[in-house]
Each structure stands twice: as C-alpha cells, then as structure tokens.
Amino acid sequence: MNLKKIVDIYRNIFGKESKNLLTVSAPGRINLIGEHTDYNGGFVLPIAIDRNIYMAGAKRNDRIIRIYSIDYDQNVQFDLDSIRFNKEKMWVNYIAGVLKSLLEINADISGADIVFGGDIPEGAGLSSSAALEVATVYFFKILFDLEISSIEMIKLCQKAENKFVGVNCGIMDQFVSMLGEKDHALFLDCKNLSYENILLKLEGFNVVVCNTNLKRELAGSEYNKRRATCEKAVSSLKRFLPQIGMLRDVSIEEFEKYKYVLDKVAQKRCKHVLYENRRVLDAVNALGRNDILEFGRLMNESHKSLKKDYEVSCSELDIMVDIARSINGVIGARMTGGGFGGCTVNIVKKEVLDKFFRAVNKEYEKRTSIKPGIYICNPENGSRRL
C-alpha cells in the first residue's frame, strides 16, 4: 500500500481534491518475549514491524465521521454525538472506541472523512487492531492539533479496546505501535510504563514470523479467562502478601512459598507469568552482551511455558515451532500473541532463510493441510506522519 493509492482512493470515494490530506501510519507488532505478562503488570519485549495501517483524511465542518475501509471495501458513517457499537462491521469499533475515548476527555474534535487500509495480516496476532487504534488517535491529534502526550494516547487506545470493543488487553500492543524505534526492541515495564528502546543487534540473523493461518476463534474468550484467573489468584495471595496489587508484585520465592493456596490451574497460570517476567529480564541482559544464542534459548523456554503452564498454544502452533527448531540455524522459536492460532516468531540465520522457507511451507502444509504465511519482519518506527 502506498500514498498515491490511498490518495486516489480518497478522491474516488469522497469526490474531493486532496491537497490538505493528512496521512499517517501505525505499525503492527511482534512480541519477541514476554507473553501474557502485560496485563499482569509485568515485562515485555516487542518490536514494531514494517507492516502498517495507513490512514488518510481531512476535516469536515460538521460532526459526521465517514470512513471507508480499503481492505473490507465497506463504508460507514456515524455522528460523533451518538457513537454506538457496530455488531455488523467490527472493524469500525476500533475507530469509534478511540473517538469516544477522546470525547470523554473533552478533546476538541469534529467530523472527518477517512480512508484506511494496511498490510498487517488480520487475525494473525500481529496487532492490526492496536495499529488501527493508534493510527486513529494519532491522526486526530494532528488533524485537530490536540495537546495530548504519547502515553495519554496509548492509554486512550487501550481503554477503547477494553471498554468499547470488550477485549481486556494489556497496554503492550498500543505502546510499541506508538513508540517503537527502527532497529530496536522496546523493553516495557507494564506496571509503571517506564520503557527503553534497546538496540537489537541481529547481524547475520532475521526475525521471521510464521502465520499458522488458523482462525483464532478461542483467543478472545480464553484470553479474558486467563486474565480473570490471574486476578483471582492475586486476591487469594493477598491474604499472605497484603502489599501486592497485581501478579507482578509477587516474587518467585513468595509464589513458591504460598502457591499451595491456589488451585492447580491457577498455580500453572501464575508460574508462567512470574517465570516469564524473569525470562524477559534475562533476555534484555542477553541482548546487552550480544548473546543471541541465549536469547534464542529463552524464547524456546517461553514457548514451553505457554504450552504447558498457560495453555494458550495449539497443535498448529506447536507443529510450526517443531518444524522451525528442526532446522539448523534457527536459534529460537515460540508462539507469539494471544495464542490458539496466530503466529510464531523465529530467530533465523540469514544463510538458512531459503531452507527455512522451503521446510516450513512444505512440512506445515503436509502436517496440517493449511498453507502457512511467512514474513521477514524488520524492527521499524512507531506511528508517524507520512
């Protein structure tokens, strides 16, 4: 997708000249390590990737929002003063939810004509929804010259997904889509929102994403169940650890001492989150000393934990990981995202990329009867004006 195409589509849809057209982009993300830790106040290490949502538009002199989705080939129109959940066209809700959140903080916005599209595979766990939210809030910030910080915009996007769309996501996806940096991974403390962009030295390696192309039908409901289990576990542990507010506040030593008060399922869920937090810290240290082999080992451990303890993997993800690890030159492979389908992330030596592509394409389809998607993903900048 390029600027000329977006401008041409805008002109065709709205019949307007496009001299003052504002165009922005926001990237998808891949999480290298730190899965299901964000909504527990833990640590994550994602990258913004070179696949984006692109949004273009201009102001109107009324309160009407008109939107055209290039990918869905659908038009939607609504009034800012009567924003309602759209059951037929779910994609609208990510935009409408952000606008509702802006209005709730008394942002001075009015109507707009908008087109958007992108090259982030939908439903793959690469956060196309967060990218759409971030593109929306960034677009309206610039279009209406709003005085609002990046952190405030990130929180508004998360609120839109939690309260309006109804998915209790953490803040990682919106954070890295807004503030990621080219050639860096974003190390984020989801409790206090302190962050650092860490140079990702991948000389001789590529980050490769493999899409299972399995529809993630369980992802939303099971995601909310996992979050509820963790929150309930915190309530139980508070009897012994009154100072804790979220699972992140529990040390591994405290967990091992008091885990007996939790049922077996809650023990497994908490074990994953707490040990995954440690793996993220170890991974950041490994990057600091340019120990990519140790980084890969931690990724492999992460997948095992997500499969056995958090139980959010599936046979297709496990097959994809097994195929990748059978290839000499793949130093780390794990599921990434919410789970129950979606993608794996792999660190692959450049010299074996062709072999990797051939093996994954052939073996995955042979074992699942599904054609995979494979993309080399480079760490890119977050939201930006084009």
Closest CA to 54 of 135, 138, 134, 125: 135
The catalytically annotated residue of 38, 113, 173, 309 is: 173
Please state whether 241 falls in left (phi above 0), alpha (psi between -120 and 50) or beta.
Answer: beta
Rounded Cα–Cα distance for residues 369 and 355 (Å): 20
Sort 253 into a burial class: Cβ within 10 Å, 0-12 / 13-18 / 19+. exposed
Return the structure tokens found at 226: 């996992």
Closest CA to 125 of 247, 284, 306: 306
Coil vs helix vs strand at 61: coil
Q: What is the rounded end-to-end Cα distance, in angstroms, of the chain?
A: 13
Q: What residue type is assigned to position 256 of the chain?
A: E
Sort 294 into a burial class: Cβ within 10 Å, 0-12 / 13-18 / 19+. middle
Helices assigned H by DSSP within 120-196: 128-143, 150-159, 172-179
Q: Is 173 a catalytic residue?
A: yes
Query: Would you say 176 and 29 are in contact if contact means Cβ atoms under 8 Å apart?
Result: yes
Residue 199: strand pairing partners: 184
Coil vs helix vs strand at 121: coil
**Active-site residue set:** 173
